[in-house]
Chains A and B, each alone.
Chain A
Amino acid sequence: MRVTIISPERSVFDGEATSVVAPAYDGMVGILPRHAPFMTLLGDGTLTVRQDDSTREFHVRGGFLQILDDTVNVVAEHAGGEGNE
């Protein structure tokens, strides 16, 4: 499935993934491919994107997450790159 992470300033990530673990407003949400259309608000925490052979972590805060047509759109008010934030 495709995952995009965008912040107000730029697009932080756009690529294929095998699973996503996201911090929703009320707890973590795990997302696997072919998830039903879903929308939730994001909390503050680490978003993990698992790819075939690697794992990438991002820090996100605020905003929302939307799943539609096997695409996860993470629209975060603040989204930091891996490790550096």
Chain B
Amino acid sequence: MAKPRELRRRIKSVENTRQITKTMEMVATSRLKRAQDRVRAARPYAEALTEVISNLYSPELTDLFPLLRQPRGDPSRVALILITSNRGLCGAFNGNLIRKAKERLSQYGVRGVPVELHGIGRKGIGYFKYVGHDLASERDDIGDRPKAHHAAEVMEPLMERFQTGELDAVEVIFAKFNSPLSTPPRLMPILPVTPPSDSGALRASEAAAAERPLQRRTVNFLLKPSAEGIVGAILPLYVRNSMYRALAETAASEHGARRTAMKSATDNAGEMLDVLRRNYNRARQAVITQELAEIVGGAEALKG
């Protein structure tokens, strides 16, 4: 049996660890709250953009705007953006995102499509550097408080290259924020822009039918400069906003994942303390019992 003194030392150390994980849990909870608010605050803008684009979109526009250009057959070059967190201690959060990215890379690898990987967040960058994978660009300065201009900076060069035909698709891997407990890694195609109306489960004909009443409504709008002009100006906004949403959701997910991880670490430390305390008390009792036995034994020996 372990010595009481050793047990006491371990109890101290586990207590300290628990204190730290508990604090981190509380920090994550408060940051999560703010990150969640940001995700929620970003929703009206996204909805407004989506609504306008689905109202003004018509299939003929595809030829007019390079951002809508759909690739024929296999894309010739793809950019994959991987968003991870800058910090660890958030469970399998970054691991899941990285695994998703590897999955996508190997899917394209099998088809022989060249993919360039863009890393956002220290963890993903670190992993791919470690395995010796080249990164086309890396950013670790965005952190957990993404701003709209961050998304714009990331997307601007990619949009330009997509428009010139150098890239055929841009996809992003991020952590979808369903709830603080559910943050699955997701793959989201950003370019070409898929009009929101037919990205759902609707089939093409149903989508067209569903769109018609909306279009009739837009006829009444006075449009300045013109429907095409407006779509052309709003598409880049939509692209940038998709990216911003991915960044904001990943940031919120990170804090959710960290809170969960730290909560279970705190719980585990508590359980461990229970066992250690029990063992320590048992060992302490054993020592006392043994000392008593020795004293009694000694007294008996003196009598005799």
Contact mask B226-260 → A, CB, 8 Å, 1/0? Answer: 00011001100100110010000000000000000
* CB contacts between A and B, total, < 8 Å: 75
Q: What is the minimal beta-carbon distance from B238 to any residue of chain A, in angstroms? A: 11
- Is B9 engaged at the interface, CB distance under 8 Å to the other chain? no
* A64 engages B222 (CB within 8 Å): no
* B223 engages A39 (CB within 8 Å): yes
For the complex, would chain A's binding face be called helix, strand, loop or mixed by DSSP majority? strand
19 CB < 8 A contacts A-B: A7-B45, A8-B148, A8-B244, A9-B41, A9-B45, A10-B42, A26-B224, A36-B220, A37-B222, A39-B222, A41-B230, A41-B234, A64-B52, A64-B230, A66-B221, A75-B48, A77-B148, A77-B237, A77-B240
Name the residue of chain B whose CB is nearest to the CB of A73: B48
Besides the known contacts A25-B225, A41-B224, 18 further A-B residue pairs in the complex with CB atoms under 8 A apart: A4-B44, A6-B48, A10-B41, A26-B224, A26-B225, A37-B220, A37-B221, A38-B221, A40-B224, A41-B230, A41-B234, A63-B234, A64-B52, A66-B52, A68-B221, A73-B48, A75-B45, A78-B148
- Is B147 engaged at the interface, CB distance under 8 Å to the other chain? yes
- Is B49 engaged at the interface, CB distance under 8 Å to the other chain? yes
Q: What is the interface of chain A, defined by CB distance below 8 A to chain B?
A: 4, 6-11, 24-26, 36-41, 62-64, 66, 68, 73, 75, 77-78
* B148 engages A11 (CB within 8 Å): no
Q: What is the minimal beta-carbon distance from A12 to any residue of chain B, in angstroms? A: 10
The docked-state distance in angstroms from the alpha carbon of A41 to that of B49 is 12
Residues in A neighbouring B48, C-beta threshold 8 A: 6, 66, 73, 75
A36 with B222: in contact, given A9-B148, A66-B52 (CB under 8 Å)? yes
Q: What is the minimal beta-carbon distance from A59 to any residue of chain B, in angstroms? A: 14
The docked-state distance in angstroms from the alpha carbon of A45 to that of B123 is 40
Residues in A neighbouring B222, C-beta threshold 8 A: 36-39
Residues in A neighbouring B244, C-beta threshold 8 A: 8-9
- Is B38 engaged at the interface, CB distance under 8 Å to the other chain? yes
Residues in A neighbouring B241, C-beta threshold 8 A: 8
Contact of B49 among A25, A38, A40, A75 (CB under 8 A): A75
The docked-state distance in angstroms from the alpha carbon of A4 to that of B52 is 16
* B229 engages A41 (CB within 8 Å): yes
Q: Which 8 A-B pairs have the closest CB atoms?
A: A8-B148, A10-B41, A40-B224, A75-B48, A38-B222, A37-B221, A6-B45, A6-B44
Contact of B42 among A9, A37, A62 (CB under 8 A): A9
Contact of A64 among B42, B220, B234, B240 (CB under 8 A): B234
Residues in B neighbouring A25, C-beta threshold 8 A: 224-225, 233
Q: What is the minimal beta-carbon distance from A20 to any residue of chain B, in angstroms? A: 16
Residues in A neighbouring B234, C-beta threshold 8 A: 41, 63-64
* A9 engages B237 (CB within 8 Å): no
Q: What is the minimal beta-carbon distance from B166 to any residue of chain A, in angstroms? A: 25
Residues in A neighbouring B151, C-beta threshold 8 A: 8
Q: What is the minimal beta-carbon distance from A55 to any residue of chain B, in angstroms? A: 24
Residues in A neighbouring B233, C-beta threshold 8 A: 25, 41, 64
Residues in B neighbouring A6, C-beta threshold 8 A: 44-45, 48
* B148 engages A24 (CB within 8 Å): no
Residues in B neighbouring A8, C-beta threshold 8 A: 42, 45, 148, 151, 240-241, 244
Contact of B224 among A10, A24, A63 (CB under 8 A): A24
Name the residue of chain B whose CB is nearest to the CB of A65: B224
Residues in B neighbouring A66, C-beta threshold 8 A: 48, 52, 221
Residues in B neighbouring A75, C-beta threshold 8 A: 45, 48-49, 52
The docked-state distance in angstroms from the alpha carbon of A40 to that of B220 is 14
Residues in B neighbouring A38, C-beta threshold 8 A: 221-222, 224
